A and B are shown apart, each in its own frame.
Chain A
Amino acid sequence: MSTYDVIVVGAGAGGGVAAGVLAEAGKAVLLIERGREMAFEDVPRDHLRNHRYSRYGHNTGPSLEGNPRVLVDLDGHEHTLRPHEDAYQNNATGVGGGARVYGAQAWRYLPADFEMASTYGVPAGSSLADWPIGYADVAPYYERAEWEIGVCGDSVGSAERWPRDRDYPMPPVQLNRQGALMRRGAEALGWSTLAVPLLINSTPYGGRPACIHCQHCIGFACPVDAKNDSQNTLLARGRATGRVEVVTEAMVEQVNTVGGRVVGVTYVDRDDKRQSARAEVVVLAAGAIETARLMLNSVSSEHPHGLGNAHDQVGRNLQGHYYPGAVGLMSEPVHDGIGPGVTTAITQFNHGNADLIGGGMIADEFVVLPIIFWARNLPPDLPRWGAEAKGFMRDNYTRVARVMGPVQEIPSPDARVTLDPKVRDRWGIPAARLSGAAHPETVRTAEFMYARAGEWLAASGAQRIWGSPPKVKLSGGQHQAGTARMGDDPASSVTDRWSRVHGHDNLYVADGSVHVTNGGFNPVLTIMALAFRAAEHVSRAW
C-alpha cells in the first residue's frame, strides 16, 4: 500500500489549491480525481452537450451512464436521474472540476455574509447560522487567491464595498455594448455598478496570455488558457515540485479508519481495481454532494453513521443559488460578440432590503449560444416554429439583453444529501439521494431580485421584458454548498473553524461543503480562499 503525507479527494477549485499549497510546503500528496485530465481539445465546443446546455450530455465528465442520483421531489416521488437531467445538481468532473468550464466570476463574500443569523435573526424552519469565522479571517486568503490564481477587476469600486488591503492584479476585461447599455440604465436608476471581477487574464499574467474575448467562455475550456483556476495555477505549481501524484478516473469509495482514526482512503482505479492508500491527513474536496456522500459512506463500527456524522449533520443544509433573471428586447443591438460577456454588476441589493433576509447580486449575462437563446430566451407567446420564430431569431438575437444573479439562500436542514438505500453507481457505491427544498425566505428574496432584474432592463431601454418567476425547488447545482458546514458546536455543524471535521484532527474539507451560508455571490473565490486557509493549517499542524 502506498503512503503519502496527504490524500486530497477531488481536483476541482478547492482540491487543486490544497494539493498545490501542501506540495509546496514539502508534503507528499496523492490527488485522486474521478474525471479525466483534459486538454482544450478534450472539451468540445458542443452546443448541445456542455455545462450551459446539457440537452444530451456534457463536454466533460461525469459520463451519463453509471453515475445516478436519486431525487425525491416536492411530492415525495423518487426519480433516478442521469447527470445531464434537470435536478441532478451536476458539476463537471475532471482535473480542474467545474472551474475548468466556469464563467470565472471572482467574488468575495461581504462581511455581513458571514454573520447572517446575528444580522437578520433566524427564520422559522431554517438552520441559518453565523460562520465561526469572519470576513477578516478570510480576507488574506481572498487576496492570495486573487493574486496567485489571478483575478481581474475594478480595485477602486471593489474597495468601496469590501475592506481590501491590495488591488486586483489586473484591470477589468474589456467592456462590451451590453455592459455599456446596462451601465446607463443603472445610472438612470441611481444604482451603482461594479465591473464583475473575473478569474480571467485581462492582461498576460502567470505566464499565460490575455483573454481573446471569444464567445465560448462559460461552459467551455479556454482556447488560449487565459481562464484561471486551480489546475493551471496552484496544482501546476504543486506538480512542478514533483510531490503531487495525480490519479485520474478513480472513484474514492471510503475514507478508511483504524480504531476510529482516519488513516487513508479506498478507491476504485480506472481498471476497476480497488486500491487503498494511507496518509497522515485526508482532505475531502469532491463538491458538496459528493463529499457528503463519501463521508456518509465511510461507515465503521466506531462511526456507524459515517464520518463526522455523530449528530446527523452531514449532508444537511444543501444550498446553491437561486438565479432570478429577466430578458429584455432592447431598442438597439447589444450583442457585439465581445466575450466573456458578463461585465457589470449591481451589489447594492445584497443586504439592506426592507423585510428580506439578505439579498443577491445581479449582473449582465455571458454571450448566449444561439440554441440556448432559442430554448430559453424567446418571448413566452412567440410560436416555436414557422416564419415568426425564425424571424424573431434573425432580428433579435443581437437585440436581447439578459440580467440575472445569485440569491443568498437561507439554509434548510431538510434540504439534504443522504445515501439511497437501493440505487448504486457503477462502482457499487450507494447513490446520493437528494431531498427537501429551498427555504421560503430564499424564494421571497428571489422574487424581489426578479423584480429588480425587470426594473434594470426597463431603465436600460427594454421595449419588452419577460422571464420566469422563481419557483420552490431544491437548490444546489454548480454552486452547491453547505453539507459539512463550519461551526464551533459539533451538534449543529460538521467542520470546525479550520475546515477540520469535528472529532477527526486529520480529516479536512476543502470545497463548498464548509460554507455556513453561500453568499449572494458566485462561491468559487471563497472555496479557493478557504482551501488556502485549510491547507495552510494542515501544513502547520502536520
Chain B
Amino acid sequence: MILTMLTESQRATLRALIDRIIPADDFPGGWEAGVGGYLDRQFAGDLCHQLDMYRAGLDAFDIEARATAGVNFAELAPDAQDALLRKVELGDVVTDWPIEPAVFFHAAAEHAAEGFYGDPGNGGNRDGVSWRMIGFEVTG
C-alpha cells in the first residue's frame, strides 16, 4: 500500500483532486471507481519515480488553497475546487510551487483517466464501471 506512505492530508487532497478530474454523476467519481487502487499499484511500478512529484504537488495544492481560500483543497466546495484547478491548469498560481503546476495537474489527469478507463486488471475501473458507462462491452 504505497498510498499509506502519503500523509493524511496528502491522501485527502489526492482523493479530492481525482474526484474533480472525474466527478461523480449518475456514475461513480474517479476515486470510488478505483483510481486510488490504480495509483497505488502504479506507484509501486511504472510511476514509482513520480511519487515525489505527487507529494510535492499535493502539498502545493493545499498551500495554494489555504493562501487563496483559507482551507485545504479537500475542504473547498466542488465549484471552488474546479475554479482553483482551472487556474492551476494555466499555471496561474499565487504561491511558490516546487514543481510546474500545470505539469503535475496534467499528469494527474492522465493517470486518473488511465485508472478510470483502463482495464480493471490494472487496479482501477472497478467492475468495469467506466466501460458500462460508455458502452464498451467485452463479449469474448
Contact = CB atoms under 8 A, between A and B. Distances in A.
Tell me whether A and B are bound partners: yes
Interface of A: 44-48, 55-57, 212-216, 223-224, 333, 335, 337, 369-371, 373-375, 384-387, 389-391, 393-394, 397-398
Contact of B140 (A56, A57, A223, A391): A223
A47 B119 contact: yes
B117 A371 contact: yes
Given A223-B140, A385-B21, A386-B23, A48 B134 contact: no
B139 A393 contact: no
Contact of B139 (A44, A55, A215, A373): A215
18 contacts: A45-B121, A46-B121, A47-B117, A48-B118, A48-B119, A48-B122, A212-B139, A215-B137, A215-B140, A337-B136, A371-B117, A374-B113, A385-B20, A386-B20, A386-B21, A387-B25, A389-B22, A390-B23
Interface string B117-131: 111011000000011
Which of B21, B23, B110, B113 neighbours the largest number of chain A CB atoms within 10 Å of its CB?
B113
A212 B130 CA distance: 24
Contacts of A369: 136
B82 A215 contact: no
A333 B139 CA distance: 18
A385 B109 contact: yes
A397 B135 contact: yes
B133 to A, nearest CB: 5
Contacts of A373: 117, 134
Q: Which 5 A-B pairs have the closest CB atoms?
A: A397-B134, A214-B140, A47-B119, A385-B21, A370-B117
A371 B117 CA distance: 5
Contacts of A335: 135-136
B18 to A, nearest CB: 10
Contact of A387 (B23, B110, B117, B121): B23
B114 interface: yes
Contacts of A214: 138-140
A386 B25 contact: no
Contacts of A386: 20-21, 23, 82, 85
Interface of A is mostly: loop
Given A385-B109, A386-B20, A390-B22, A215 B121 contact: no
B134 A385 contact: no
A44 B122 CA distance: 11
Contacts of B138: 214-216
A410 to B, nearest CB: 36
B136 A397 contact: yes
Residue of A55, A223, A224, A333 with highest tally of chain B CB at under 10 A: A55
A56 B41 CA distance: 13
B113 A384 contact: yes
A35 B30 CA distance: 37
Interface in B5-23: 20-23
A370 B21 contact: no
A165 B22 CA distance: 56
A533 to B, nearest CB: 36
Nearest to A372: B117
A397 B109 CA distance: 19
B80 to A, nearest CB: 14
A474 to B, nearest CB: 26
Interface residues of B, number: 31
Given A214-B140, A374-B117, A398-B135, 7 more contacts: A56-B45, A215-B138, A215-B139, A335-B136, A337-B135, A371-B118, A386-B82
B85 A46 contact: no
B96 interface: no
Contacts of A391: 25
A374 B112 CA distance: 11
Contacts of A389: 22
Contact of A394 (B27, B118, B139): B27
A394 B116 CA distance: 12
B111 to A, nearest CB: 10
Contact of A393 (B21, B110, B133): B133
A390 B113 CA distance: 10
Nearest to B38: A48
Nearest to A388: B23
A390 B117 CA distance: 10
Contacts of A223: 140
Contact of B134 (A47, A213, A384, A398): A398
A390 B25 CA distance: 9
B116 to A, nearest CB: 8
A393 B27 CA distance: 12
Contacts of B122: 46-48
A370 B114 contact: no
Given A370-B134, A398-B135, A393 B23 contact: no
Contacts of A55: 114
A542 B58 CA distance: 69
A375 B46 CA distance: 18
A398 B136 CA distance: 8
Contacts of A48: 114, 118-119, 122
A367 to B, nearest CB: 8
A178 to B, nearest CB: 13
Nearest to B136: A370
Contacts of B23: 386-387, 390
Contacts of B25: 387, 390-391
A46 B113 contact: no
A45 B139 contact: no
B31 to A, nearest CB: 13
A45 B119 contact: yes
Interface in B83-133: 85, 106, 109-110, 112-114, 117-119, 121-122, 130-131, 133
A335 B134 CA distance: 10
A389 B119 CA distance: 19
Contacts of A46: 119, 121-122
B118 A47 contact: yes
A385 B114 contact: no
A213 B138 CA distance: 10
B107 to A, nearest CB: 11
Nearest to B23: A387
